Structure 1
C-alpha cells in the first residue's frame, strides 16, 4: 500500500497579530521571510525557518489556536478517501494558491490538511512581497 502523505510542506499557524509574530520569528537565526501579504483585511506571512520543509505560515483568519499541518499528496481524492475511511472528520475543501486542498480533524482533535500541487510555481510569484 502506497503512502498517503508525500511531505509536510507547511505549518499553518493562527496569529492574532501577524506583524508582531512575523517580527519575532524573523529574528531567529537562519530565518527568512518569504512574504507578508495583506489582502482584503487578511494578513498572511510565510517564513522559511530551516533549509528544508516545512515552511511556517502565520495567518490572522485561521480559527482556533491549533495549527494545521499541510501535507502534499499525489492524489487528493485518494488520500482524502483514506483519511475519511480511517475516521478522520473532513472539515472543508478549498483552493489554496498551490492547488486543491481538503482539511481534516483527527479523532484526537489535531488538524491536518492535504493538498495536491497543481500550481507549483505560484509560491515563487509571492516571494519577496512585503505588504507589512
Structure 2
C-alpha cells in the first residue's frame, strides 16, 4: 500500500473503451435513447470504432467490435508513459501489452480483480480532431 502523499501517475481518465457486438446498433442506442453526441464512427482495417460524448468533458466512450471480452478498458492519460510504467512497477505493478494507438504509446493491463486498465501518453493530440465528424457507418 502506498502512503497518503503518493498518488498514481494518472492525469485524467480520457476514454472508456467498451466492447460491442454491434457497434452501429449501440451507437443508435446511445445517440437516440441516451442523448449522446456522436463524435465519429470509423470503419477501417476490418473493425468499427465509434466515439461518443455522454457529458461535457472526458471521459469519452469508445465502442468497438474488435475488443475481446465483456469488460471495458479504462484508458488514463499520463505525462510520460515510460516514467509512469517505472513508477507503477516500483509499487508491484505488472506491465501488460504495450502498443501504439493513434494518440501515442499505450500500455494495457489487468488489475488483480480482473479490471482492465490502460495508460497512454498523448504524443499526438491533433489525431482525434482528424476524425471528428467522420461517419463511415
Which consecutive unaligned segments of at least 5 residues does structure 2 have? Answer: 1-5
Is the Cα contact below 8 Å between 1:36 and 1:45 reproduced in 2?
Answer: yes
User: Could you give the per-residue CA deviations for residues 25-71 of structure 1, whole angstroms, max 9, x where no partner exists?
Assistant: 11245411000000122000000110010000001000111100000
**Match of residue 6 from structure 1:** 11
Q: TM-score w.r.t. structure 2 length?
A: 0.90
Is the Cα contact below 8 Å between 1:44 and 1:60 reproduced in 2?
Answer: yes
Is the Cα contact below 8 Å between 2:8 and 2:88 reproduced in 1?
Answer: no
Is the Cα contact below 8 Å between 1:88 and 1:107 reproduced in 2?
Answer: no
In 2, the alpha carbon distance for the partners of 1:118 and 1:86 equals: 25
Where has structure 1 moved over 6 Å in runs of 4 or more? none
Aligned counterpart in structure 2 of residue 121 of structure 1, from 109, 122, 126: 126
In 1, the alpha carbon distance for the partners of 2:8 and 2:91 equals: 14
Give me the CA root mean square deviation. Answer: 1.4
What secondary structure sits across from 2:40 in the alignment? strand
In 2, the alpha carbon distance for the partners of 1:34 and 1:99 equals: 19
In 2, the alpha carbon distance for the partners of 1:88 and 1:17 equals: 34
Is the Cα contact below 8 Å between 1:14 and 1:67 reproduced in 2?
Answer: yes
In 1, the alpha carbon distance for the partners of 2:27 and 2:92 equals: 35
Question: Whose Rg is larger?
Answer: 2
1:97 pairs with 2:102: yes
**Match of residue 3 from structure 2:** none
